[in-house]
Structures are given as C-alpha cells and as structure tokens.
C-alpha cells in the first residue's frame, strides 16, 4: 500500500501545472515575440544612438527584434511612465539615464520613483560632462575659472541643458564644493547652449560629452575639465575637475542603462542582462562607444540596483539642499 500510495502521489505531482516537471516544461523560451524598447529622448541624440546600437545587437542574439519607440518629453519622464505602466513580462524595456532618477526628484508633480517602479537590468555606458568656456573668456584652466568666479559672485553665467539636468546639478555641486556662485542659465537642451558659448554670449557651460566633442576637436570652444573620476578616452589631455582643483569627490557622471517594469521575473531580467553585458564586452561595442565619448559598462542587475540607490540618495540630498525645482 505504501508503494502504491507513493506512486500515485508522484504521478499526481507530475501532472500539476506548477510543479518542477510540468511547470518548467510548460515555460516558453524568452523572448517569444518582439520587444518594445522605449527611448525617452528624441532621435539622433546620444541616448538614441546607444539604444539603437544595442537594439540591433540584442535582436541578433535574442532572435527577436527590439522595436525602438522614441517618446521624448518631460525630461524623460513621459517614456519612463509608459514603461512603469506596462505589463512586467519582459516585452517592454526602458533605455534609462541618470535623469530617470533625478527628473522625478526635481519635478513637483512627478509620480515616478526610479527605485520603486523599475527592475534594474544593467548599466550600459558611462560618460563625463565637460566644463567648457568661450574662446573669448579669459580662463584657460579650471583654476582660473574658479578664481574669476570667486572675484565676481553670481556674475559668471554657465549654461546647462535644463533645470535639474545632470549638467545643472554638476554646476551646483561645483558651486558648493569650490565655494563659488556661478549663475545658472538653463536651456532647452544642450545644442542651443553650445551655440551661445561658441558665439561668446555665454562664458561657460557644463555640457554632455557627445554634443561638445566635435566643437572641442575643431577648436570652437575650450575644454577645461571632465566631471568623471577618470580622464575620458575621447579627451585624454583634458584633466578631471577633481584633479584640476584638488576637489576629491567631485563627480557628475552621465550614464545609460536598461530597466524593466517592477515585478518582471528574475530569469527574464537575467537573460537580458547577460546578453547586454556580453555585447558591451565586444571590441565592436567598445570602438563604437569610445568614438562617441562613452565608456562601455555592463553591470549585474544587483550591482546596477546598488548604484541606482546610491545615485538617488546623493542627488536627492543636493537637490533638496539647493532648493532646485522644475518650473
């Protein structure tokens, strides 16, 4: 009787839909259909370039197309909110950036929380911002910029790509750490700010690397320092702001990554992460991204989650202390 009972119990267990044998056999291979990649920026920019490159390569390795859907607006929050509301099944992916964390903190009306609303997949790239000055501005180095700013508090303007952008926050961080008062002039994106710096109408700017690099290379603006902890491979002769000023801890790094909606199954997250990390380790990816001023990253989901929490804490403190709010 005991043997018969045991046999019947095992047969019933195998037949149940959630058991090890039947359940795993019934699980479909991921992905079964195309994946929607939402890029919350306009076409042609740095994030879009990175997203489309990764979409092509992931499509090849996953055997399913990644369909790019550009949804710019509200400092990236429009596209991020679409992903937040999507089904957590692995078929809606967000190309995130540091702004995915900072924009909701700056906004007075955002319902997004980058830590609560998303499942981290991997960090894709890192890139510095770069401190620039007009060729007509007398500062030749970061130290000279600080000296002029100290002598003329709130009289030296610096441009950024908008209120609450990493360029704005990097400028505010420099104000606090260097004891100066540069006057912030927000633009609607980086290009118009660069135009005014090149034209001598604005003396200084903290710019993203991709937009500034061509103008630095052609001598239309003067690069004083980058904002990462290490020098950029794209501008190896330009010091970091930390080394140029002796400001240990000064850093304002741009990055891009992938996020799924919160609640996405761990095996799906792990598959996407492993494929993305493998692609980022290829010589093709390194060459492509280095030329654009980006350093390939590639983090495990847990390491990316740790980074996001640290960034959220760091910039929340600065934003609140400085009273930065979107208009």
Overall average pLDDT of the 126-135 stretch: 96
Report the alpha-carbon distance of residue 274 to residue 224 in Å, rounded. 37
End-to-end Cα, the chain, rounded Å: 77
Residue 18 inside a domain? The answer is no
Residue 214 inside a domain? The answer is yes
* Range in 80-84, 292-296, 307-311 with the lowest mean pLDDT: 292-296
158 pLDDT exceeds 60? Answer: yes
Q: In the structure, what pLDDT confidence band is assigned to residue 235 with cuts at 50, 70 and 90?
A: very high
* Range in 27-36, 152-161, 222-231, 311-320 with the lowest mean pLDDT: 27-36
Overall average pLDDT of the 83-101 stretch: 97
Q: Which residues contact 1 (CB under 8 A, 6 or more apart)?
A: none
Same domain, 68 and 161: no
292 pLDDT exceeds 90? Answer: no
246: region left, alpha or beta (phi > 0 left; psi from -120 to 50 alpha):
left
Give this prediction's pTM.
0.85
124 pLDDT exceeds 90? Answer: yes
What is the structure's pLDDT at 9?
Answer: 35
Residue 103 inside a domain? The answer is yes
Burial of 291 (0-12, 13-18, 19+ CB in 10 A): exposed
Phi, then psi, of 37 in degrees rounded to 5: -105, 110
Same domain, 44 and 93: yes
113 pLDDT exceeds 80? Answer: yes
Provide the residue range defining the domain that includes 283: 35-127+254-322
**77 neighbors 109 (Cβ within 8 angstroms):** no
Report the alpha-carbon distance of residue 157 to residue 317 in Å, rounded. 24
- Residue scoring higher pLDDT (21 or 193): 193
Choose the final residue of a domain: 245, 269, 286: 245
Helical H segments across the chain, by residue range: 2-15, 20-26, 46-62, 77-85, 98-106, 114-117, 142-151, 166-178, 190-198, 209-217, 241-245, 266-280, 283-292, 301-322
Residue 136 inside a domain? The answer is yes
13 pLDDT exceeds 80? Answer: no
Overall average pLDDT of the 82-108 stretch: 95
8: region left, alpha or beta (phi > 0 left; psi from -120 to 50 alpha):
alpha
Closest CA to 36 of 86, 98, 97: 86
Q: What CATH number is associated with residue 296? A: 3.40.190.150
Residue 104 inside a domain? The answer is yes
What is the structure's pLDDT at 74?
Answer: 85
**107 neighbors 90 (Cβ within 8 angstroms):** no
Going from the C-alpha of 82 to that of each of 38, 90, 270, the distances in angstroms are 8, 14, 22
Same domain, 146 and 230: yes
Residue 10 inside a domain? The answer is no
Report the alpha-carbon distance of residue 65 to residue 58 in Å, rounded. 8
Report the alpha-carbon distance of residue 4 to residue 324 in Å, rounded. 72
Same domain, 48 and 75: yes
12 pLDDT exceeds 90? Answer: no
Peptide bond into 31 cis (omega under 30): yes
- Residue scoring higher pLDDT (191 or 21): 191
Residue 301 inside a domain? The answer is yes
231 pLDDT exceeds 90? Answer: yes
What is the structure's pLDDT at 189?
Answer: 83
* Tens digits of residue pLDDT in 256-275: 999 999 999 999 999 999 99
Residue 173 inside a domain? The answer is yes
Overall average pLDDT of the 206-234 stretch: 94
* Range in 4-13, 103-112, 229-238, 257-266 with the lowest mean pLDDT: 4-13
- When the pLDDT of each residue in the chain is averaged and rounded to a whole number, the result is 90
What is the β-pairing status of strands 157-160 and 295-296? unpaired
Choose the final residue of a domain: 204, 228, 245: 245
Report the alpha-carbon distance of residue 107 to residue 316 in Å, rounded. 12
Closest CA to 269 of 153, 97, 122, 148: 122
Same domain, 122 and 132: no
- Residue scoring higher pLDDT (124 or 48): 124
17 pLDDT exceeds 70? Answer: no
What is the structure's pLDDT at 27?
Answer: 56
Same domain, 58 and 118: yes
Choose the final residue of a domain: 182, 212, 245: 245
What is the structure's pLDDT at 90?
Answer: 98
10 pLDDT exceeds 50? Answer: no
Burial of 133 (0-12, 13-18, 19+ CB in 10 A): buried
Q: In the structure, what pLDDT confidence band is assigned to residue 162 with cuts at 50, 70 and 90?
A: confident
How many domains is the chain partitioned into structurally? 2
Please provide the DSSP assignment of 257-307 as one string.
Answer: EEEEETT--HHHHHHHHHHHHHHHTSHHHHHHHHHHT-EE----HHHHHHH
What distance lies between CA 186 and its chain's CA centroid? 20
* Range in 3-7, 174-178, 213-217, 281-285 with the lowest mean pLDDT: 3-7
* Range in 39-48, 158-167, 259-268 with the lowest mean pLDDT: 39-48
3-state secondary structure of 225: strand
């Amino acid at each position: 009787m005991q043997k018969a009972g045991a046999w019947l119990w095992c047969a019933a267990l195998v037949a149940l839909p959630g058991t090890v044998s039947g359940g795993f056999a019934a699980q479909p291979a991921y992905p079964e259909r195309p994946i929607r990649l939402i890029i919350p920026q306009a076409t042609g920019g740095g994030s879009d370039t990175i997203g489309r490159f990764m979409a092509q390569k992931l499509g090849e390795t996953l055997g399913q197309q990644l369909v790019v859907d550009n949804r710019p607006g509200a400092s990236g929050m429009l596209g991020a909110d679409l992903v937040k509301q999507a089904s957590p099944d692995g078929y809606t992916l967000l190309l995130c950036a540091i702004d995915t964390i900072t924009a909701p903190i700056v906004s007075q009306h955002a319902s997004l929380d980058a830590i609560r609303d998303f499942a981290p997949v991997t960090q894709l790239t890192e890139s510095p911002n770069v401190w620039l000055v007009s060729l007509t501005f007398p500062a030749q180095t970061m130290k000279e910029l600080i000296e002029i700013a100290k002598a003329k508090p709130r009289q030296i303007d610096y441009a950024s790509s908008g209120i609450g952008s990493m360029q704005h926050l990097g400028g505010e961080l420099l104000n606090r750490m260097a004891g100066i008062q540069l006057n912030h002039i927000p633009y609607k994106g980086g290009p118009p700010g660069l135009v005014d710096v090149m034209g001598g109408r604005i003396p200084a700017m903290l710019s993203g690397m991709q937009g500034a690099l061509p103008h630095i290379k052609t001598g239309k603006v003067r690069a004083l320092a980058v904002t990462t902890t290490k020098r950029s491979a794209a501008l190896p002769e330009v010091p970091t702001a930390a080394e140029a000023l002796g400001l240990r801890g000064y850093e304002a790094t741009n990055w891009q990554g992938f996020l799924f909606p919160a609640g996405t199954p761990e095996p799906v997250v792990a598959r996407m992460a492993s494929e993305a990390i493998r692609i980022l380790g290829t010589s093709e990816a390194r060459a492509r991204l280095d030329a654009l001023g980006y350093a390939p990253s590639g983090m495990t989901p847990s390491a990316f989650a740790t980074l996001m929490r640290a960034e959220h804490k760091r910039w929340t403190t600065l934003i609140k202390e400085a009273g930065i709010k979107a208009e």
